Structure 1
Amino acid sequence: MTPVTTFAGRKVALFGLGGSGLVTARALRDGGADVLAWDDGAEGLARAAAEGIPTGDLREADWSSFEALVLSPGVPLTHPEPHWSVRLAQGAGVEIVGDIELFCRERRARAPGAPFVAITGTNGKSTTTALIAHLLRAAGRDVQMGGNIGVAILSLEPPSESRVHVVEMSSFQIDLCPSLDPSVGVLLNITPDHLDRHGTLEQYAAIKERLVRGAGLAVVGVDDGPSRAIADRRGAGLVRIRVPHGPLAASEATGEAVSARDGVIRDADGTPLADITGIGSLRGAHNGQNAAVAVVVARALGIESEDIRAGLASFPGLPHRMEEVGRRGPVLFVNDSKATNADSTEKALTAFRDIHWILGGKAKDGGIFPLVPYFERVAHAYLIGAASDAFAATLDGAVPYTRCETLDVAVEKAAAGAAASGAPEPVVLLSPACASYDQFRNFEVRGDRFRDLVRALP
């Protein structure tokens, strides 16, 4: 754990006692702060009581006594309207911060030169974060990985000159981190997301930009308009990343960007840096971007090219993100349960052919209509869950499909269909393009169930 000593002897309000909130309360307490915590749910309050964290309804507190409000990133700061705790803090002139801001202040107090890599973007954050951490660990570095990837940052070991923190950050977390100053800041991409929490795409992009604005080195994917504009404003201390399609991109021709094309990552001058062709955990153009970013970051932190190449080859990937879970003869089984919308599923459909596609669940707006251009890659579709009727209507006449209702039936039928297809490497792909909530508690449970069903096949 990283005790937060920068608030020692001062009173701090904390709202939100989920996993990261509870860790933050402990870190503040252990660092000497006087913490008063609250949550709208009884479960969080009970966990705090069990940990000996003082609790009290912040609506009844004397806000003039607080130095700061530490807010959980899941609690609305601005949209659709500020949470009541936010309004109380603003009314009293109390600053509002999150746990990563506390880490940043602790880093400046303890070890201002400690390596700190922060990663954001609409898509690909978790894979890129895990890949950077893997390359550094494989080269023998002391690495702490956390943040939005599922490990509270203050649960990690404290910053030091010999330890690298690799931290995934959502827009919610960036919004609560006004002094964010990583050694290396990564912005992968920006597409519309979380507009219910940020109001407009422009505001969402402005929040993302803060991560690279304060970074010592900025690494920015420039394949979308908002990210290109951010890179142009950054100026010095910038590496651009391009994943060109079709004819040579202008940025490649002028030597402006590190690029990833057809599995080969090249420096801005065209020098090959790495080849990810044949690495199953890094299939697809989107993983070309992820790998190019990871290579640039590893080089910036002094990792040798030979160690980078070995680390790429040994990267296991992340669970539920195009995870290869097994083979039966020529049939490859891929768990992409994390694909809860069409945009995510598109990445998987572009990475394979001869696909026996398991999809369905609780549909998002737009359904699978945006995926029509990729239907020619699908040999057969197997429908599960509440979206079956809507998805059948989109598939009708374009892709043969079978209604399976449940995942166990779909796996059995897809495995049999793929085995009988005669294709050299058919793929049974769980990439639902849907939330899981109609049949599973979350996408992890759905992916675990798929993995178990595959392993149980004869």
Structure 2
Amino acid sequence: MIPVTSFAGKTVAVFGLGGSGLASCHALKAGGAHVVAGDDGAERLAEAAKAGFITADLRTVNWSRLAALILTPGAPLTHPAPHWSVLMARQAGVEVIGDIELFCRERQRHAPDAPFVAITGTNGKSTTTALTAHLMKVAGYDTQMGGNIGTAILSLEPPRKGRVHVIEMSSYQIDLTPSLDPAVGILINVSEDHIDRHGTLEHYAAVKERLVAGVQSQGTAIVGVDDIWCRASADRIEQAGKRVVRISVKNPLPDGLFVDHETIWRASGGARSEIAKIGGIGSLRGLHNAQNAACASAAALALGVAGDVLQKGLRSFPGLAHRMEQVGRRDHVLFVNDSKGTNADATAHALSSFGDIFWIAGGKPKAGGITGLTEYFPRIRKAYLIGEAAPEFAGTLGATVPHEISQTLDVAVENAARDAQASGLKEAVVLLSPACASFDQYRNFEIRGTKFRDLVQALPGVKPVV
């Protein structure tokens, strides 16, 4: 745990008592703060009370006595309307921040030179975070990984010299971290997502940019420049005097890191040198994972990792569950769990990685649906549509792609496995990459992906992929 000493002797409200909220309560208490815990759910309030914290309906407390509101990233800060606790805090002149802001303040107070890598992007941030942490561990660093990837940041060990924190950040978390100042910041990409919480794509992109714009004066901003939003961000940050490393998987660069023929190259002044090879690494299959690998490699190089260690780390990376996870094989049929493909852009990466696909898609639809995936339709032998999005997706596929409305995942897996087995193809891929949120049928994408894995592994004759 990281004790939060910056509010010692002061009273702080914490709203949202999930994993990161409870971790904030414990860290603030350990640092000497007085904590008032609030939540809209009775069960979470009861859990906090059981853990020894004062709980209250924050609508009834005296806000003039509060030094800060620590807000869960799940509660809206600006759009579609600020959460009621945000409105009350602002009316009382109380700052509204998140748990990663508490970490940043502790690092600034106690170990400002401790390595801190912060990572964001519309897609790929979890894989890039896990890969960066893996590379640093292979290089011998005491590595702490957390944030949006699963472990609350304040549950990690405190910052200190020689210990690197590798932290995934959502746009919601960036919004709540005004003092964000990583030694290395990574912005992988920006595409349309979370507009309901940011109002416009322009505002969403601006929030993402803040992570790399805030790098320390001697730090490194790593920016993927294969979309217009990030290209503009890289230019602005460089003009502000920060060190920028540009990343591309689409075009060679005169300066920066780029991927060409499954090799990561570093360019300087137009001259190139080989950094690492990523061909044949199953956990880094596909152009999107090449982008992730290049970003993570740039971070490791910025922190002094040697080239031979970098190559060793890339080859030994096991990958992440629910992200292009190869969960089984039966004869010529490969089953791939990409449940984390919760929007069309993420699913495009998965579809581009295979040839003959029996595609399971659907769930709670997002803006735009799958209209942006038409260039990949020739790769799809048949689609199996589930959840709320099934009728909409069927309309988009039309007569171009054979499809059925399976409704549920168990039916989709059974039918896709049967059709792939009977296809006679040299390699057929049953791919779960929903291009949708899971919330219509599953609480989160992890539960959806685990269900897929279980269904696949229960099929007769399925063996692990080695």
Please tell me the TM-score bracket, short chain as reference.
over 0.9
1:424 aligns with 2:426: yes
Aligned twin of 1:267: 266
C-alpha deviation, 1:137, in angstroms: 1.3
Aligned to 2:59, the other structure's residue is in SS state helix
C-alpha deviation, 1:172, in angstroms: 1.2
Aligned twin of 2:70: 70
C-alpha deviation, 1:126, in angstroms: 0.7
1:242 aligns with 2:248: yes
Aligned twin of 2:370: 368
- Mapped partners of 1:81, 1:418: distance in 2: 47
Cα offsets for 1:76-126 (capped at 9, x unmatched)? 222222222222222222222111110011111221111100001111111
- Mapped partners of 2:439, 2:418: distance in 1: 27
- Mapped partners of 2:392, 2:82: distance in 1: 36
Q: Which amino acid aligns with 1:10?
A: K
Q: Which amino acid aligns with 1:260?
A: V
Q: Which amino acid aligns with 1:440?
A: Y
Aligned twin of 1:233: 236
Cα distance change on mapping 1:62 and 1:257 into 2, 3 Å: same
Aligned twin of 1:454: 456
Aligned pairs (5 A) from 1:131-280? 131-215=131-215, 216-235=219-238, 236-244=242-250, 249=251, 252=253, 255-268=254-267, 269-280=271-282
Q: Which amino acid aligns with 2:186?
A: V
Aligned twin of 1:123: 123
Aligned to 1:2, the other structure's residue is in SS state coil
- Mapped partners of 1:362, 1:168: distance in 2: 24
Q: Which amino acid aligns with 1:242?
A: S
- Mapped partners of 2:7, 2:95: distance in 1: 13
C-alpha deviation, 1:333, in angstroms: 0.9
Using the TM superposition, name which of 48-57 and 190-199 deviates more.
190-199
Contact 1:265 1:272 in 2 (8 A): yes
Q: TM-score scaled by structure 1?
A: 0.94
- Mapped partners of 1:413, 1:59: distance in 2: 52
Cα distance change on mapping 1:96 and 1:362 into 2, 3 Å: closer
C-alpha deviation, 1:362, in angstroms: 3.1
- Mapped partners of 1:318, 1:443: distance in 2: 13
- Mapped partners of 2:194, 2:415: distance in 1: 36
Cα distance change on mapping 1:333 and 1:99 into 2, 3 Å: same
- Mapped partners of 1:455, 1:61: distance in 2: 52
Q: Which amino acid aligns with 1:104?
A: C
C-alpha deviation, 1:212, in angstroms: 1.1
Q: Which amino acid aligns with 2:137?
A: R
- Mapped partners of 1:296, 1:141: distance in 2: 16
1:358 aligns with 2:360: yes
- Mapped partners of 1:329, 1:323: distance in 2: 18
C-alpha deviation, 1:312, in angstroms: 1.0
Contact 2:248 2:258 in 1 (8 A): yes
Aligned twin of 1:390: 392
Contact 1:144 1:156 in 2 (8 A): yes
Aligned to 1:190, the other structure's residue is in SS state coil
Q: TM-score scaled by structure 2?
A: 0.93
Contact 2:191 2:345 in 1 (8 A): no
- Mapped partners of 2:83, 2:410: distance in 1: 42
Q: Which amino acid aligns with 1:232?
A: D
Unaligned runs of 5+ in 2: 461-466
Aligned twin of 1:328: 330
**What percentage of residue pairs aligned between the two structures are identical?**
63
Cα distance change on mapping 1:441 and 1:200 into 2, 3 Å: closer
Contact 1:281 1:322 in 2 (8 A): yes
C-alpha deviation, 1:382, in angstroms: 2.4
Contact 2:255 2:266 in 1 (8 A): no
Contact 2:9 2:33 in 1 (8 A): yes
Aligned to 1:434, the other structure's residue is in SS state coil
Aligned to 1:340, the other structure's residue is in SS state coil
- Mapped partners of 2:456, 2:122: distance in 1: 31
Q: Which amino acid aligns with 2:35?
A: V
Task: Give 4+ residue runs of structure 1 displaced > 6 Å after superposition.
Answer: none
Aligned twin of 1:444: 446
